[in-house]
Amino acid sequence: MLPKWFNDWNSKNPTDIYGPAILVGSLGGAVILAVLLISFGQPYATDSMQTGPRGTGMSVPEFKADLAKPDPTIDGYYTEAPYVPAGGEALARDVYQNVQVLGDLTEDNFNRVMNAITNWVAPEQGCAYCHGDVDLEQYGEDNLYTKVVARNMIQMTQAINDGWDGHVNANKQVGVNCYTCHRGQNVPSDIWFRITPVTEATAGWASVQNRATSLSQYTSLPSDALEAYLLGYEQIGVHDLESHVAEYPADGIQTWQHAERTFSLMNYVSNSLGVNCVFCHNSRAFYDPEQVTPQWGTEQLGIGMVQEINNEWLVPLKDTYPPERLGPVYQDAPKAACKTCHKGYQQPLQGMNVIGDWPELAASGPPVYQ
């Protein structure tokens, strides 16, 4: 196709066309990438939250894109401003039958709270989820376990807001209500049940670890950490940090197995809040209580709060639940832990105030309307 003289000349004078092409292509690609970064920003840019003194490595880095990404469950939150009583209104306990909690609310505010709980917990089933498909005159009956549980959960919510202000409102006034855990679901996600021993062929420490489970965060660490620390009141601690210590396993002595169980709990807490260890600890002095961050104290209150929730409110409801709501191994009552509320965020619902419109749930006494 080409003239013979042209082909002869090319064969005698070879030229490297690939090197210049690669160079031009690389430069062009770099220019295009630079233009994109300038136009749209760095997709993997990070920001850090300082959790302790600068220079100590106490910071929590996060991708800016993740920080800007809202919790998707926030869009489903329902709220409604209260009706400030003028005085003389009929109270719920005088209008309806068998109102054991919230009876001192006005009829309008009582119905407002009931409507909110329906949206927070049973948006598909509606009022029938607790009251059944019956006439309004029969709503006072306690025929369904869901109504009995809901009554206890209202009291639990009031107790949390009233007694655990140091944890719930550590950063600002946010409070908790039913939506904090339920997020539009009848049963909250991230509840837990007892599952240990996970290895029936062994006993002791070997029977609770070395098998990946959801409670061990899919690691070989012990699967009984939530049971021991958030249901029981066992000491959270690690083995002696000194070498060659003449101690033997006994009551009050923290062994390396206890350390592994503690690490299992700490791993769970980190995943629940979407943070790393230095959110609470100083990386150069993990075990020094004088060098921890303020979040460490908030977390200690949180552990005490969860222990109370499980032992005083959730476990006592075991006989109220039907069999299908109980645990698959021991038929135990569902229990809560950090992730039940936080769901991977430092603050539930990213710090949204969920009690501002609901003074009725803020304390067990009469609500204070602003």
Helix, strand, or coil (residue 207):
helix
- Alpha-carbon distance 353 to 28, whole Å? 50
Instruction: State yes or no: pLDDT of 262 exceeds 80.
Output: yes
Instruction: State yes or no: pLDDT of 129 exceeds 90.
Output: yes
- C-alpha 237 chain-centroid distance: 23
In this prediction, residue 23 carries a pLDDT of: 83
- Alpha-carbon distance 4 to 93, whole Å? 107
Is the separation of the CB atoms in 209 and 356 below 8 Å? no
In this prediction, residue 327 carries a pLDDT of: 97
The beta strand positions in the chain, using DSSP E, are 46-50, 59-63
Instruction: State yes or no: pLDDT of 52 exceeds 80.
Output: no
In this prediction, residue 117 carries a pLDDT of: 98
Q: Which domain holds residue 155?
A: 77-179+357-370
149 and 200 in a common domain:
no
In this prediction, residue 139 carries a pLDDT of: 95
160 and 209 in a common domain:
no
- Alpha-carbon distance 328 to 199, whole Å? 16
Mean pLDDT for the stretch of residues 61-74: 81
Other beta carbons within 10 angstroms of residue 191's beta carbon come to: 16
pLDDT tens-place string over residues 210-221: 999 999 999 999
212 and 120 in a common domain:
no
Instruction: State yes or no: pLDDT of 282 exceeds 90.
Output: no
How many domains is the chain built from? Answer: 2
The answer to whether residue 37 sits within a structural domain is no
The answer to whether residue 54 sits within a structural domain is no
CA distances from 12 to 15, 17, 186, 269 (A): 10, 15, 82, 72
* pLDDT class of 77 with cuts at 50, 70, 90: very high
* pLDDT class of 278 with cuts at 50, 70, 90: confident
208 and 84 in a common domain:
no
Phi, psi torsion values for 123, nearest 5 degrees:
-65, -25
Instruction: State yes or no: pLDDT of 286 exceeds 90.
Output: no
